[in-house]
Amino acid sequence: MQLLSKVDTMGRESRRDKTLIEQLSHEIAILKRHKFAKRSEQISPAQGSLLDDLLNTDLEAIDAELKALRPAPAPDEPRQQPKRAPLPPQFPRTVVHHEPESTQCSCGCELQRIGEDVSEKLDYTPGVFTVEQHVRGKWACRQCETLI
pLDDT of residue 105: 86
Selected residue with higher pLDDT from 8 and 148:
8
pLDDT score recorded for residue 97: 93
pLDDT for position 122:
93
Strand, helix or coil at 94?
strand
Alpha helices by DSSP H, listed for 37-127, are 45-69
pTM beyond 0.75: the answer is no
Delimit the domains of the chain by residue range: 1-38, 93-141
CA distance 14 to 8: 10
Q: What gap in Å lies between CA 128 and CA 147, rounded to an integer?
A: 38
- Cβ-count burial of 111 within 10 angstroms (0-12 exposed, 13-18 middle, 19+ buried)? buried
Residue type, 47: Q
Q: Mind listing the pLDDT tens digit for each residue in 70-129?
A: 776 666 777 788 788 889 899 999 999 998 888 888 888 888 889 999 999 999 989 899
Report the alpha-carbon distance of residue 18 to residue 14 in Å, rounded.
6
